[in-house]
């Protein structure tokens, strides 16, 4: 005689959970996200909770940002709500072996300690399903390359707010070439004083004027990479 597992008591239906996650992200309701995330685990839909609930919520947040309905404060608050959900759902996603959207090594380059823009990009990349290796701020060129090699990264993202840091960005690209990694790693740069022209000058593949555009570019690159395989 087999013993059937006792089904946990669940107070919410799947659709309600997804809607609640979605709305809680849009409304920066950290408690709401946590509650719905726990319910999602109970009924065994952690992956769907992330993709259909939270990521869709973040997409709406991104749209509201583009339409000037939301600004930086709202982006950060939504990111915090997303993070709260991922802390609960993350371990269950690994169990489901969810495929990564791509691997990104990211940081603010040496000589610069500004982290706001970089952190927003990290939040959005995570919400889009990327594996993120956040090196923090004041990161030496060697560290970007070492981490890219170690993690077999698809993309390196570099942020800088001060123009003296541009030479550091260029140094990372040169070191990628020296390490014979340039072909396999795309480089995207951003930050308040970075421009399209400057990105081209230092040999980056792309410049992102804001977090949303940066993530869109990364998604596009990964689509191209997968279609080539």
Partner 1 sequence: MFFLEKDQKVYEIRGVKVGGQPGVNPTVLIGSVFYEGHKVVIDGKTGEFDRKKTETLMNDAEGLSDKYGNPFMLDVIGPSGIAFEEYISFVSEMTDAPFLIDGVTEEARIAAVNYVSEVGLHERVIFNSINQNTNPSEIDVLKRSKVKSAIIFTYNLRNPTIEGRLSLIKGGTEKSLLYVSEESGIEKILIDTCVLDPPDLGPATRAILLVKSEFGYPAGCGSGNAIDLWGKLKELDKTTCKMCIGSGLAFPASLGADFLLFGPIEHAKYVFPVCAMFNSYVAYAIKQYGLKPAKSHPLYRIF
Residues that bind partner 1 (CB under 8 A): 71-73, 76-77, 80, 111-113, 115-116, 119, 138, 161-164, 192-193
How far apart CA 156 and CA 172 sit, in angstroms, is: 9
Q: Which of 24, 127, 159, 165 is catalytic?
A: 165
How far apart CA 23 and CA 220 sit, in angstroms, is: 27
Q: Which residue, 76 or 181, has its beta carbon nearer to partner 1?
A: 76
CA distances (Å), origin 34, targets 17, 88, 91, 137, 167: 11, 7, 14, 29, 43
Shortest Å distance, C-beta 114 to partner 1: 9
Shortest Å distance, C-beta 219 to partner 1: 24
Please, what's the b/e burial string for 49-85 (b: 16 or more CB within 10 A of its CB; e: otherwise)? bbbbbbbbbbbbbbebbeeeebeeebbebbbebbbbb
In the annotation, is 138 catalytic?
Answer: no
Q: Which of 29, 112, 134, 154 is catalytic?
A: 112
Q: Which of 114, 138, 205, 210 is catalytic?
A: 114
Q: Which helix (H) or strand (E) holds 159?
A: strand 155-159
Nearest to 158 by CA among 130, 189, 131: 189
CB 24, CB 12: distance < 8 Å: no
Shortest Å distance, C-beta 73 to partner 1: 5
In the annotation, is 114 catalytic?
Answer: yes
Shortest Å distance, C-beta 153 to partner 1: 25
Catalytic residues: 112, 114, 165
């Amino acid at each position: 005689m087999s013993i059937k597992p006792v089904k946990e008591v669940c107070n919410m239906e799947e659709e309600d959970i997804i809607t609640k996650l979605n709305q809680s992200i849009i409304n920066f309701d950290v408690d709401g996200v946590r509650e719905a995330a726990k319910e999602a685990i109970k009924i065994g839909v952690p992956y769907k909770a992330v993709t259909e609930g939270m990521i869709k919520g973040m997409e709406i947040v991104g749209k509201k940002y583009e339409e000037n309905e939301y600004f930086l404060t709202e982006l950060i608050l939504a990111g915090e709500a997303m993070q709260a959900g991922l802390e609960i759902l993350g371990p269950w996603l690994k169990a489901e072996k969810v495929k990564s959207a791509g691997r990104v090594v990211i940081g603010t380059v040496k000589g610069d300690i500004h982290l706001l823009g970089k952190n927003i990009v990290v939040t959005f990349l995570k919400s889009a399903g990327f594996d993120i290796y956040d090196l923090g701020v004041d990161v030496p060129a060697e560290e970007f390359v070492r981490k890219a090699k170690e993690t077999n990264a698809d993309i390196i993202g570099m942020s800088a707010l001060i123009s003296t840091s541009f030479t550091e960005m260029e140094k990372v690209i040169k070191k990628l070439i020296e390490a014979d990694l340039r072909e396999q790693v795309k480089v995207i740069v951003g930050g308040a004083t970075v421009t399209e022209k400057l990105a081209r000058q230092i040999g980056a593949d792309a410049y992102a004027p804001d977090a949303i555009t940066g993530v869109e570019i990364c998604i596009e690159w990964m689509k191209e990479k997968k279609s080539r395989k």
